Amino acid sequence: MTTVSTEVCILGAGPGGAATALFLAKEGIPCVIVDKAVFPRDKICGDALSGKVVEILNRYDRSLVERLSRDAIQLNCWGVTFVAPNLEELSIPFRNKPKDPEEARAMAPGFITRRIDFDAFMVDELKKHASIQLFEGVDMQTYTRTATGFTCTSADGSLEIKSRLVIDGSGAHSQFAKKIGGLEVEKEHHCAGLRWYYEGVTGIKEGNYIELHFLKDFLPGYFWIFPLPNGQCNVGVGMRSDYVSKKRINLKTELQEIITKYPQLAERFKNAKPVDSIKGYGLPLGSKKRKLSGDHYMLIGDAASLIDPFTGEGIGNAILSGYTAAQQAKTALESGDLSAAGLKGYDLAIYRRLGGELNLSYRMQKLVRFPWLFNFVVKKANRNKTLRDTIMVMFEDIDLRDRLRRPSFYFKLLFSGKN
Ligand SMILES: Cc1cc2nc3c(=O)[nH]c(=O)nc-3n(C[C@H](O)[C@H](O)[C@H](O)COP(=O)(O)OP(=O)(O)OC[C@H]3O[C@@H](n4cnc5c(N)ncnc54)[C@H](O)[C@@H]3O)c2cc1C
């Protein structure tokens, strides 16, 4: 058995774990990061990277995002189209696109890139830092508390890592979050998702808009089409796990039926064909506040259940929580207090930054249960520029998201009479 001692051990080198290691390296703090997979590896996902990913990675190094935006592994994404249950569409640009193609490329508000490529891109960045020790192909299974932190041991017993601090980014099925953090899967705060890679889907909007379809026979779930590089698409469905269980829904059958059943989609899939099989994975939603840290540990990303309950977006919050955990680790290591009290600032910082938007998204998730209301908002937004602009800045402007939580704000916006 190999034994490694370190101040910080990170479990998982997905976007959350990788971002944590990079921000620690920026602060001059060495760490060990371990993943059970060998990169490049697939991760079932919609593959859409939001403006938040861009915003936080820019804090690490702007040139990383610039490199990504020029890499053939990604498509620049300029907006989102919502399709209401009555089939009315609402297209919202994330930002106004500059006319000059070079300028546009340099400032794309979001990206779509297969996770097999994006995660490997991030792991390649880890390898550039001498202070980051990366172990791939090591499945960490046992977590033993010690007087000074944790000893994490691999399933085959070949590696043990002794550290003062564990940062758990091992994803939706994290055993650390369950056994040490005490987090359980709660079906009403959890979503089931399926992904299907396709080629030949037509009707993709200029600017590579991602599409979220709220189909009348598939509520409160949603269907998506996200364009990918080389003309392929990521197609999928998501629905809260309690509805899936209660209504005994077979998501795989639903997904196969959706693309033939609705005429507007059937036309677009007429000459399209799948390029792999349907694959599924869980999405732990951030619709419930949880305890994210304790003595000598912090949970990040999906291990901390931080996925947006409306859009299913989790990469941005994984990277943001990685950044926040690295800042908290710095403070705690400097003060020497790695107790639950010394790390509590992490929970506070996460919910200060994300609490408002997770709450708002939870309300919007509930709105989807009322198709008439959804139809009304889409209709109104298509006729009211202020409302459209409001939704556009929602993707970037946090203060505005706060204002959106006030019922009076909606009231004024929706019933102002301005069309
Ligand atoms: C169907 C679907 C569609 C989605 N679409 C989107 C989308 O379009 N945009 C978006 O932003 N989010 C989307 N999400 C959510 C997104 O995939 C996650 O929020 C994101 O991957 C979280 O990153 P993470 O780093 O926390 O965890 P992960 O990406 O899951 O990484 C965890 C890492 O930990 C490793 N690991 C696990 N167990 C161990 C162990 N025992 N020992 C060592 N290593 C371990 C894994 O190999 C993995 O590399 C989607 C999710 C699903 C399921």
> Residue by residue, what is the 3-state secondary structure of the chain?
CEEEEEEEEEECCCHHHHHHHHHHHHCCCCEEEEECCCCCCCCCCCCEECHHHHHHHHHHCHHHHHHHHHCCCEEEECEEEEECCCCCEEEEECCCCCCCHHHHHHCCCEEEECHHHHHHHHHHHHCCCCCEEEEECCCEEEEEECCCCEEEEECCCCEEEEEEEEEECCCCCCHHHHHCCCCCCCHHHEEEEEEEEEECCCCCCCCCCEEEECCHHHCCCEEEEEECHHHEEEEEEEEEHHHHHHCCCCHHHHHHHHHHHCHHHHHHCCCCEECCCCEEEEEEECCCCCCCEECCEEECHHHHCCECCCCCCCHHHHHHHHHHHHHHHHHHHHHCCCCHHHHHHHHHHHHHHHHHHHHHHHHHHHHCCCHHHHHHHHHHHHHCHHHHHHHHHHCCCHHHHHHHCCHHHHHHHHHCCCC
CA of 380 to the centre of ligand 1 (A): 36
333 Cβ partners below 8 Å, 6+ apart? 7, 8, 29, 164, 165
Residue 328 lies in a domain: yes
Residue 403 lies in a domain: no
CB of residue 109 inside a 6 A radius of ligand 1:
no
The residue that leads in pLDDT, 377 or 133, is: 133
Residue 118 lies in a domain: yes
CB of residue 357 inside a 6 A radius of ligand 1:
no
Name the closest-CA residue to atom 30, ligand 1.
171
Residue 130 lies in a domain: yes
Digit-coded pLDDT (tens) for 274-299: 999 999 999 999 999 999 999 999 99
pLDDT tier at 396 (50, 70, 90 boundaries)?
low
The residue that leads in pLDDT, 315 or 376, is: 315
CB of residue 284 inside a 6 A radius of ligand 1:
no
Pair 53, 110: CB distance under 8 Å: yes
pLDDT tier at 387 (50, 70, 90 boundaries)?
confident
CB of residue 140 inside a 6 A radius of ligand 1:
yes
Tell how far CA 282 is from the center of its chain.
Answer: 12
Name the closest-CA residue to atom 27, ligand 1.
171
Atom of ligand 1 nearest to the CA of 316: 11
CB of residue 301 inside a 6 A radius of ligand 1:
yes
CA of 203 to the centre of ligand 1 (A): 29
Instruction: Specify the pLDDT at position 98.
Output: 67
Which mutation among 283, 319, 358 tests ligand 1's pocket best, with the greatest number of atoms within 8 A of CB?
Answer: 283
**What is the number of domains present in the chain?**
1
Residue 29 lies in a domain: yes
Given a cut of 50, is residue 251 above it in pLDDT?
yes
Strand partners, 163: 6, 150
CB of residue 195 inside a 6 A radius of ligand 1:
yes
As given in the structure block, the two tokens for residue 349 are 């910082």
For 312: left if phi > 0, alpha if psi spans -120 to 50, otherwise beta; the answer is: left
Digit-coded pLDDT (tens) for 90-120: 998 887 666 777 766 667 788 999 999 999 9
Mean pLDDT, residues 326-348: 98
CB of residue 314 inside a 6 A radius of ligand 1:
yes
Among 309, 289, 288, smallest CA distance to 367 is for 309
CATH number at residue 351: 3.50.50.60
Peptide bond into 93 cis (omega under 30): no
Which mutation among 302, 311, 323, 354 tests ligand 1's pocket best, with the greatest number of atoms within 8 A of CB?
Answer: 302
Given a cut of 90, is residue 398 above it in pLDDT?
no
Give φ, ψ of 213 to 5 degrees. -105, 125
Digit-coded pLDDT (tens) for 146-194: 999 999 999 999 999 999 999 999 999 999 999 999 999 999 999 999 9
Name the closest-CA residue to atom 13, ligand 1.
313
Residue 260 lies in a domain: no
Q: What percent of the chain has pLDDT over 70?
A: 91
∠ CA 244-286-243, nearest 5°, is 10
Name the closest-CA residue to atom 20, ligand 1.
315
CA of 60 to the centre of ligand 1 (A): 21
Whole domain around residue 317: which residue ranges?
A: 2-75+114-185+286-360
Residue 145 lies in a domain: yes
pLDDT tier at 418 (50, 70, 90 boundaries)?
very low
Given a cut of 60, is residue 241 above it in pLDDT?
yes
Given a cut of 50, is residue 419 above it in pLDDT?
no
Residue 133 lies in a domain: yes
